[in-house]
Amino acid sequence: MNLVERYVHRRFERASRSAEQRVGLAGAVKWALRYVFPDHWSFLLGEIALYSFMVLVVTGIFLTLYYVPSDAQVIYHGSYALLYGEQMSEAYRSVLNLSVDVPAGLLFRQVHHWAADVFIASIVLHLMRVFFTGAYRKPRDFNYFIGLTMLMLAILEGFAGYSLVDDLLSGMGLAIAYSVAMSIPFVGGQLASLVWGGPFPGRSVFWPRLEIVHVLIIPAALALLITLHLAMIMRQHHSQFPGPGRRERNVVGTPMWPAYALRSIGLMLAVGGVLFLLGGLIQINPIWQWGPYHPYLSENGAQPDWYIGWLIGALRLMPNWELVIAGRTVIPNPFWGGAAFPLFVFVVLFAWPAIERRITGDVLRHDLLDRPRDRPIRTAIGAAFLSWVVIVFAVGSTDRIFYRMGISYTTQIHVWRVGIWVLPILVFFITRSACRSLQRAEAHPLRAWQGNVVRRTPAGGVEVLSDSPDRSVPPISEPPVGTLPGSES
Amino acid sequence: MKRVFVRWLTHRSRIPPVLRLSLAVVLAALAAVGLAAPASQGQQSLGGAPSGEVNPPSKSPEPPGPGDPTKTFPDSPALRIEGYNLYQQGCSSCHGISLEGTAGVAPSLRGVGAGPVDFYLSTGRMPLEQPREEPLRNEPAYDRSQIDALIAFISSYGGPAAPTADPSRGDLALGFHAFTLNCAGCHQIVARGGITVNAQAPDLEETTPQQIAEAVRMGPYLMPHFDATAIDQHTLDSIARYVLWTRHPDDAGGWGIYNIGPIPEGMVAWFIGLAALVLVARLIGERMDEPV
């Protein structure tokens, strides 16, 4: 150890001692740095969402500096020639200026929008991982509920951001959202005029409200829930896949420091890199091409961002049923697709842990994950439910399919009104039999087990125990790395 | 199917049979309801009602405004005779030997003038293979001189002069404004096409300014027609200029992914953005090396 190193070491020790005397978190820091992450790439899906959220916050702060939440009508005299002299709201003009004139404004806007799309996509993928591996079971069901709440909030947040711009697409989206809000039985009318401040397109108070919801209330709620989500994970520890040495009450994997933190920082940089590459190279929501919204305008092929697509699909797929009692429309049609359908999907997701406990009678704590194939019924139900939602989602683009492939819109709707019930049943049986045959073969289709389990005999020879790892005896010694201190082992 | 169903019902499982039976009943009921759901928007017949001898079109083309430029097509007796022969071979089976049309199949062509003939033939929408199908853009069946011959013959029955548009005299901002107001509802805001009930509004990527002018004044198929008070000549020129612009719009943000908004954007988010990140996660995260 040379002089410089010694000096640095001493300075560091002194600094950490003085910090410890004032803050006193050495124990917690030590505990956090020794936290063990199980090794599987699918545990990183949630982290993609986490880092997308960070990109959203950073880019969002930049955008907030330029956005004006006002529907005051102005005449555009800016530098974009195609809209010169056009009447538009101040909100739209501020985003147009941001996109056209502010240095790096368009880049930040596009990164923000791509990050939102990828954020919710990664949450959905993470949810699928959690569902199909049974990670939502006790004691993690509470954290699973937090995750579902965050998914709902993220969808709402994305829609609010999409609407803030007041371009042609956002205006048409808000018109649909207004109709859906109005369709809620009994309270819809009051609710809609409470939110919009009056009949569509609403009074000027609507825009500052929408902005505060988008930039403060929902992000703060999300940040709080993310903190809670991570704290719960730290407290309960990650679940892990079963394997040699892996038990219900231990975690085998990589400690936070010096290994896993670097890996995670790498992922964070990758998320930022991919999102900024998308934002710089691929155009998203070119609002100067859509033009400003006025209630008398519309365009063909208007679509919401992908995470609202399932609601558009549900509105399209639903037959024209309304509940009319004594000449009064109690439940107008948009309610079914726009409100009841997403409500039903989330209720099923929220209720699933309890439903599964009821069906299987398994109320025990589970820290080891299931492989999807080992629970054929759950996997099949999950796949069928997923396909049910995905079909509704796909129906949201029937207009483009009609346009591109010439399959008539009404034909598609009629086919899917039947297919929506038939296809998930097929998916159920196919998934179940696929799981069972995988179980029987006990091999990954692409990565079959090849080898024998052997043991070295005292005489120095090799004794073949088995040709398959599940018929082998457990290993004599367990990997010591990362076994939790204090946990039974 | 029945055996699968019965086996599914009787198979030993942790789900109680009562629950499975009720699930099956619910699904069957929903499927039945889906099948029986009324075809709320049935196929509409687009041909006119039978009306004696002549089957007039549902709308006749609007003439250009007074003093507006028109397009003149070549005309001569020889051309009319050639057009007559082509008409009898390729058009008369539906539109009638003397342009009177056929009730429920094809409108009369008397008095339509040169514009609609030029539009339908130069975009390849006519002749149709099946009389009742929607005319869509196609390879033109006739070359330019044959189209001129048919125009000469059909417009000899009278009709308004053919309109025309000159994009170089149009104003791009006005064109964007007028297109948003009048056209984007069907053709999409960047003219990428769209749908109406059981019909398509085409994209305008191959349309010439001449065809734009003709379409605006005549309103082909389901499209409404606009007279010179609704869309004056300057606006028409501007719309044509905007439509030409949409072929190379200002994609300031990078690759335009076809300018139709969220559907390709969602695909990019999932299959490029998230796919790349999952690949990164797969590379830096470990997998179970030990089979279990």
Measured CA to CA, the distance from residue A51 to residue A57 in angstroms comes to 10
Rounded average pLDDT over A319-325: 92
A-B interface: how many C-beta pairs under 8 angstroms? 246
- The answer, yes or no, to whether the previous bond of A139 is cis (omega within 30 of 0) is yes
A353's enclosing H/E stretch is helix A341-360
Spatial separation of the C-alpha atoms in residues B4 and A436, rounded to whole Å: 16
- The average pLDDT across A55-84 equals 96
Residues of chain B neighbouring A371 (CB-CB closer than 8 A): 292
What residues of chain A lie within 8 A of the CB of B269, using their CB? Answer: 114, 117-118, 121, 306
Q: Which tokens belong to A167?
A: 């371009």
Cβ-defined contact of B269 to A429 (cutoff 8 Å): no
Rounded CA gap, B161 and B233, in Å? 14
Residues 6+ apart with CB under 8 A from A144: A130, A135, A136, A353
∠ CA(B265), CA(A389), CA(B1), 5° rounding? 135
- What percentage of chain A carries pLDDT values higher than 90? 73
- Residues B213, B243 contacting (CB under 8 angstroms): no
CA A263 and chain centroid, separation? 21
Chain A closest-CA separation from residue B210 CA (Å):
23
A469 pLDDT exceeds 70? no
Q: Is B206 on the interface with A (CB under 8 A)?
A: no
pLDDT at B287: 58
**Can you tell me the mean pLDDT for A307-328?**
93
How many CA atoms are closer than 13 Å to the CA of B261, on its beta-carbon side?
29
- All structural domains of chain B, each given as residue ranges with its CATH number in brackets, are 70-162 (1.10.760.10), 167-245 (1.10.760.10)
Partners of A280 on chain B (C-beta within 8 Å) are 254
Round to the nearest angstrom and report the end-to-end CA distance of chain A: 39
What's the pLDDT at A243?
Answer: 77
With a threshold of 0.90, tell me whether the complex ipTM lies above it. Answer: no
The length of chain B, given as a count of residues: 292
Predicted pLDDT at B132: 83
**What residues of chain B lie within 8 A of the CB of A361, using their CB?**
14
Are B162 and B71 in contact by the 8 Å Cβ rule? The answer is yes
- Chain B contact set for A285 (CB, 8 A): 261-262, 265
Q: How many CA atoms lie within 13 A of B65 on its CB side?
A: 15
Chain B CB within 8 Å of residue A444 CB = yes
How far is Cα B122 from Cα B147, in angstroms, rounded to an integer?
Answer: 7
As a whole number of angstroms, the distance between CA A154 and CA A123 comes to 9
Which residue has 């053919």 as its token pair?
B162
pLDDT attached to residue B264: 95
Rounded to 5 degrees, what are φ and ψ at B233? Answer: -60, -40
Burial class (CB in 10 A: 0-12, 13-18, 19+), B175: buried
- Residue type present at position A310: W
**A199 close contact with B: CB closer than 8 A:** no
pLDDT on residue A220: 98
A87 touches chain B (CB under 8 A): no
B292 to chain A: closest CA residue? A243
Using CA atoms, how far apart are residues A27 and A152, in angstroms rounded to an integer? 36
Q: Nearest chain A Cα to B277, which residue?
A: A271
3-class DSSP state of A240: strand
For residue A443, the model assigns a pLDDT of 57
Q: What is the pLDDT of residue B120?
A: 95
Q: Does A45 touch chain B (CB under 8 A)?
A: yes
DSSP states along B128-192 = -SSTTSPP-----SS-HHHHHHHHHHHGGG--PPEE---GGGS-HHHHHHHHHHHTHHHH-TTS-
Closest alpha carbon within chain A to B136: A406
Tell me whether residues A289 and B190 touch, CB distance under 8 A.
Answer: yes
Residue A155's nearest CA partner among A397, A345, A414, A436 is A345
pLDDT at residue number B46: 36
Angle at A154 between CA A152 and CA A155, to 5 degrees: 65
Cβ distance A320 to B286 less than 8 Å, yes or no, reads no
What is the DSSP track for B72-102?
-----HHHHHHHHHHHHHHTHHHH-TTS--B
Tell me the mean pLDDT per 10 residues along chain B, length 292: 61 63 74 54 38 73 89 93 94 91 90 94 92 89 95 93 95 96 95 89 94 95 92 96 96 93 95 96 72 42
Residue partners of A28: CB distance under 8 A and separation at least 6: none
Mutate to test the interface with B, among A37, A39, A41 (most CBs of B within 10 A): A41
Query: Which residues is B106 bridged to in the sheet?
Result: B102
* Residue A21 to chain B, least CA–CA distance (Å): 37
Highest-scoring range by mean pLDDT, A35-39, A223-227, A261-265: A223-227
> At residue A115, what is the residue type?
A
B142-193 per-position pLDDT tens digit: 999 999 999 999 999 989 999 999 999 999 999 999 999 999 999 999 999 9
Q: Measured between CB atoms, which of B176, B181, B288 is closest to A40? A: B288
* pLDDT score recorded for residue B130: 87
According to DSSP, residue A301 is labeled T
The span from the CA of A452 to the CA of A469, in Å, is 8
Q: Looking at the partner chain, which of A45, A289, A447 has a beta carbon nearest the beta carbon of B281?
A: A45
Alpha-carbon gap: B138 to the closest alpha carbon of chain A (Å): 14
Lowest mean pLDDT among A14-28, A196-210, A308-322, A436-450: A436-450
Look over chain A and give the mean of its residue pLDDT values, rounded to a whole number.
91
pLDDT bin (cut points 50, 70, 90) of residue A1 is: low
Specify the amino acid at residue A57.
V
Mean pLDDT throughout A207-213?
Answer: 96
A154, containing H or E segment: helix A141-164
CB of B1 within 8 Å of a chain A CB? The answer is no
C-beta atoms of A408 and B39 within 8 A: no
CA dihedral A382, A385, A391, A393 (to 10 degrees): -90
Question: Minimal Cα–Cα distance from A309 to chain B, Å?
Answer: 9
Burial bucket for residue B158 (CB in 10 Å: 0-12, 13-18, 19+) = exposed
> DSSP string spanning A62-118?
HHHTT------EEE--SS-GGGTT-EEEHHHHHHHHHHHTSTTHHHHHHHHHHHHHH
pLDDT at B99: 92
The answer to whether the Cβ–Cβ distance between A301 and B260 falls below 8 Å is yes
Of B176, B196, B254, the CB nearest to A291: B176
**Both tokens of residue B163?**
């309109």
Task: Say yes or no to pLDDT of A487 above 70.
Answer: no
Q: Does the structure show a pLDDT above 90 at A26?
A: no
Q: What is d(CA A338, CA A308) in angstroms, rounded to the nearest whole number?
A: 10
Q: Which amino acid belongs to residue A457?
A: T
Start-to-end C-alpha separation, chain B: 36
Report the alpha-carbon distance of residue A291 to residue B189 in Å, rounded.
Answer: 8
The band of A259, judged by pLDDT with boundaries at 50, 70 and 90, is confident
| B contact residues 130-159, partner A, Cβ 8 Å cutoff | none
The neighbour count for residue B204, using CB atoms within 10 Å, is 26
Q: Does B14 touch chain A (CB under 8 A)?
A: yes
Nearest partner of A366 among A141, A38, A129, judged by Cα: A141
| CA separation for the pair A100, A107 (Å, rounded) | 10
Q: How close is the nearest chain A Cα to the Cα of B101, in Å? A: 28
Asked if the Cβ–Cβ distance from B273 to A291 is below 8 Å, we say no
**CB of B286 less than 8 A from some CB of A:** yes
Q: Which residues of B touch A100 (CB under 8 A)?
A: 252
If you average pLDDT over residues A179-198, what whole number do you get? 94
Higher pLDDT, A4 or B291: A4
**Is A301 in contact with B288 (Cβ distance < 8 A)?**
no
Q: Using one digit for the tens of pLDDT, what is the confidence trace for A362-403?
A: 999 999 999 998 999 999 999 999 999 999 999 999 998 898
